[in-house]
Each structure stands twice: as C-alpha cells, then as structure tokens.
Amino acid sequence: MPEAPTILVTGAAGNLGSEVVDRLEARGARVRCLVRRQAGVRAGAEPVVGDLTDPTIVRAALVGVDAVFLLWPLIDAASAHGLIAELAAAAPHVVYLSSTAVDDQAVRQSDPIAQVHADMEALLRDAGLRPVVLRSDTLASNARGWAAQLRAGDVVAGPDMARTAVVDERDVADAAVAVLLADRGQPVHGPYVLTGPEVLSRADQVDRLGVALRRRLRFQAIPADLARSRMLADGRPERLVEALIAASARRPESGRITDHVERLTGRPAGTFAQWAMDHAAEFS
Ligand SMILES: NC(=O)c1ccc[n+]([C@@H]2O[C@H](COP(=O)([O-])OP(=O)(O)OC[C@H]3O[C@@H](n4cnc5c(N)ncnc54)[C@H](OP(=O)(O)O)[C@@H]3O)[C@@H](O)[C@H]2O)c1
C-alpha cells in the first residue's frame, strides 16, 4: 500500500482550515498544522506553532510535506516573499485558497482583499509552483461574526456587501481535499471558482438564518463611518477594517454560479439555508 501523504494545512484553526484538517484525517492523510496557538490544533494532527510570515517556521513546517493547503489571511502580499521562497525550495503540491473577487481582466483589483489574492496567485505562479487555485466565494461561516448581535437581539447591523453566491465552507473543504489528495501526475487545472447555488444579499442571509432560528431577523446596513468605528471598537486591526470597508464600497455584485464544487466533489454545493439549519445552535 502506498504511504499516506503528509499534508500541511495553514490557517488550520480557522473556519475553513479546521474543516480541511478533519477531512484529511478522515481520509487517512498525515496532517501537519501551521497555527499561531497550539490550542487550535485538532487531536491527531501535528502542530507547528508560528507565523506564516516567518520563513524559519515555514521551512520547519514543510519538511517531508507532499502537499500544502495554503491560505493567506493577511491584507497584502509584501510579507509573503519568505513563504514563497521556502515553498519554491521545497516544491510541494500547492493548493491556494483565493477569492472569486479576483478579476483576471482588471489591472488593479476592486479592493485590497481581492488585490492580495491576485498578488498571491501571481507570486506562486512566478515562483514556478504551478499551484492549483481555488477561488472561493463568500464563506457561509462568515455569518458566525453575527452571533453576538443575534444573542442580544434580532437585528444584524453591519456594512452592506454586494450580493454573491455564498458558499458553504464544508463544500470548499471537500473540494480542497479532493485536489490535495489527487494524483500529482494528473494535469493541473484551475482556477476553480467555488460558489454556492444562490446569489444572496446580506439581508437574504439574515432572513434564512431567521428561518433556521425560528425568529424574525433583520439586516440593517450601516454607513461606512459607523461600521468602521464599531469594527475598531471590536478590536479588529485597522488595515483589515479599511479593507472590509473598501470591499463593501467597491466590490461589484457577482451573479456567477458555477458547478465547480460538484466537479471536484461529485455532489452539488449546499445552500446557505442548510448551513443555517446545521449551525443554528451556535446563534442561541
Ligand atoms: N471568509 C471568506 O468569505 C473568504 C472568501 C474567499 C477567500 N477567503 C480566504 O480564506 C481564508 C480563510 O478563511 P476563514 O474564514 O477560515 O478565516 P479564519 O477563520 O479567520 O481563519 C484564518 C486562520 O488563519 C490564521 N492566521 C491569521 N494570520 C496568520 C498568520 N500571520 N500566520 C499564521 N496563521 C495566521 C488564524 O489564526 P488564529 O486562529 O491564531 O487567529 C486563523 O486560524 C481567509 O483568510 C481568506 O484568505 C475567505
């Protein structure tokens, strides 16, 4: 029997990364997790504790690794050069989690979050890594950010965003695992554009969450200045807050729905309504 592959998962304690880790373990892979705190590591996975911007940590994390699930949770790519150099030296199979907001035709992207993903895709390609790029739509799990407001009342207040085909992070994790465990001899495809089955506004999402919670909930769009001061008061880093405000103001609506989840996983993408049902307990 061939030996189980060793897969490095970055962002392994996060909403998406933790789903990827669970699936890889269930498929018998050896999983190494790059995390900032050991407490975030699932039982059975090997932790490497440190920062993605630290080349020494990345080098240690890459020893003996066959494939990497790479995400880049920072707002610019300037601090990624050390990581890219280490990846280029180790040359694993790289699966990069990008964003559907990346516009291949644009010289500059609509906002800093779309820009950092476009820049990361280019850095990985230019380093000769031939990454498989998964461009994810808005993750359903972002709705967890509304839990505190929904424990206090029936209104979710925040900056509005253009409508997109919100995708269940469990589908993105399934797609990522399919690519991570695929035979490396297969030709590289992509980018894959991973969407859910419906284009939803924030208000649509809050509505569906209300159905799952059996409550009448409402989304209230608030102006940029108020959104900025609330996010800063919540302790979010200033650059991230500015990037989120810019995405709210400038990112165009995307009506695009693809079958790429199904192509990679063999089954259609789930709805946000189902996500809300499955996670209702987290909001009470
Ligand atoms: N959310 C979306 O709608 C969306 C859409 C398209 C693409 N993406 C991409 O997907 C990524 C994952 O999304 P998510 O919702 O799973 O995010 P998340 O829950 O915030 O998870 C991000 C993880 O990255 C870790 N991290 C942050 N900065 C780090 C650093 N400098 N070094 C090492 N680890 C670091 C965090 O560690 P701690 O646990 O220590 O904070 C966290 O566990 C995003 O960062 C983004 O690049 C997201």
Position in ligand 1 atom list of the atom nearest CA 142: 1
Annotate 94-114 with three-state secondary structure: EEEEEECCCCCCCCCCCCHHH
Q: Ligand 1: which residue has its CA nearest to atom 26?
A: 11
Sign of CA dihedral 115, 118, 121, 126: negative
Position in ligand 1 atom list of the atom nearest CA 18: 16
> 130 pLDDT exceeds 80?
yes
Position in ligand 1 atom list of the atom nearest CA 37: 40
> 172 pLDDT exceeds 80?
yes
Mean pLDDT (whole number) for 55-69: 98
Mutation test residue for ligand 1: of 21, 36, 120, the one with most atoms within 8 Å of CB? 36
- What pLDDT does 188 receive? 59
> 113 pLDDT exceeds 80?
yes
Q: Ligand 1: which residue has its CA nearest to atom 47?
A: 73
- CATH classification code of 6-136+169-194+257-266: 3.40.50.720
Query: Which pTM was predicted?
Result: 0.97
Mutation test residue for ligand 1: of 97, 115, 161, the one with most atoms within 8 Å of CB? 97
Q: Which of the pair, 179 or 184, is modelled with greater confidence?
A: 179
- What pLDDT does 284 receive? 87
Give dist(CA 86, CA 52) in Å, integer: 11
Q: Ligand 1: which residue has its CA nearest to atom 18?
A: 14
Give dist(CA 157, CA 188) in Å, integer: 42
Checking phi first, is residue 91 left (phi over 0); if not, alpha (psi -120 to 50) or beta? left
What's the gap in Å between 14 CA and the centre of ligand 1?
Answer: 6
Lowest mean pLDDT segment, chosen from 46-55, 175-184, 264-273: 175-184
Mean pLDDT (whole number) for 267-276: 98
Mean pLDDT (whole number) for 141-151: 96
Mean pLDDT (whole number) for 101-110: 96
Local structure of 158: helix, strand or coil = strand
> 98 pLDDT exceeds 70?
yes
Mean pLDDT (whole number) for 6-23: 97
What's the gap in Å between 11 CA and the centre of ligand 1?
Answer: 5
> 40 pLDDT exceeds 90?
no
Helix 224-233 with 238-250: angle, nearest 10 deg: 150
Checking phi first, is residue 266 left (phi over 0); if not, alpha (psi -120 to 50) or beta? left
Lowest mean pLDDT segment, chosen from 56-60, 119-123, 207-211, 228-232: 228-232
Ligand 1, pocket residues at CB < 6 Å: 11, 13-17, 36-37, 40, 51-53, 71-74, 97, 99, 136, 138-139, 141-142
Position in ligand 1 atom list of the atom nearest CA 136: 6
Scanning the structure block, which residue is given the tokens 């992207």?
109
Determine how many CB atoms are found less than 10 A away from the CB of residue 117. 24
Mutation test residue for ligand 1: of 15, 16, 135, 254, the one with most atoms within 8 Å of CB? 16
> 206 pLDDT exceeds 80?
yes
> 223 pLDDT exceeds 70?
yes
What's the gap in Å between 131 CA and the centre of ligand 1?
Answer: 19
> 154 pLDDT exceeds 90?
yes
> 22 pLDDT exceeds 80?
yes
Mean pLDDT (whole number) for 22-48: 93
> 17 pLDDT exceeds 70?
yes
**Predicted confidence band at 187 (pLDDT cuts at 50, 70, 90)?**
low
Q: What is the DSSP letter of 198?
A: S
Percent of residues, the chain, with pLDDT higher than 90 = 92
What's the gap in Å between 138 CA and the centre of ligand 1?
Answer: 13
> 1 pLDDT exceeds 60?
no
Across the chain, mean pLDDT equals 95
- What pLDDT does 164 receive? 97
Mean pLDDT (whole number) for 249-274: 96
> 144 pLDDT exceeds 60?
yes
What's the gap in Å between 250 CA and the centre of ligand 1?
Answer: 22
Structure-token pair, residue 229: 């001061």
